[in-house]
């Protein structure tokens, strides 16, 4: 993805998300954070697309989003074509299923009620609760 962004072949990035915190931090499949950072580095807008049911206003930040840790076997259980294990036996493994993209890398959050823009604490509340602008 980085090559295509750097060479001007990407206009914007759209991703899904599993959970959005009140401040606009976004949890999605592992690798989304990296994609958002590369997009910003290349001046490319980054938009998660979510139903409002994904926005959890009770979570102040993405630090409060629980991250599922997948089993080590998904990583160390892989084998090369000749049957040898891909990883040394007994190696410690971290295998998170999600990462959290900080709101500062998010251009806007697309919902069925429109697009929320920073400051997300206000715009996401309006998207979810239907509050009018103050």
Alpha-carbon torsion (14, 46, 34, 29), positive or negative: negative
d(CA 28, CA 45): 17
Q: Is 18 tagged catalytic?
A: yes
Among candidate residues 11, 18, 56, 82, the one labeled active-site is: 18
Strand 114-116, strand 19-21: pairing:
unpaired
* SS3 assignment, position 36: helix
SS3 state at 54: helix
- The answer to whether residues 106 and 33 touch, using CB atoms and an 8 Å cutoff, is no
Active site residues per annotation = 18
């Amino acid at each position: 993805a980085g090559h295509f962004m750097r060479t001007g072949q990407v206009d914007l990035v759209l991703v899904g998300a599993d959970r959005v915190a009140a401040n606009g931090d976004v949890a999605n499949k592992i690798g989304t954070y990296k994609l958002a950072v590369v997009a910003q580095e290349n001046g490319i807008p980054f938009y998660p697309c979510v139903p409002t049911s994904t926005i959890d206003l009770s979570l102040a930040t993405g630090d409060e989003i629980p991250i599922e840790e997948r089993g080590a076997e998904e990583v160390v259980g892989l084998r090369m074509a000749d049957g040898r294990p891909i990883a040394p036996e007994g190696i410690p493994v971290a295998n998170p299923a999600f990462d959290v993209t900080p709101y500062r890398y998010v251009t806007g959050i697309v919902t069925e009620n429109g697009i929320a823009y920073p400051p997300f604490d206000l715009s996401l509340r309006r998207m979810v609760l239907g509050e009018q602008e103050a």
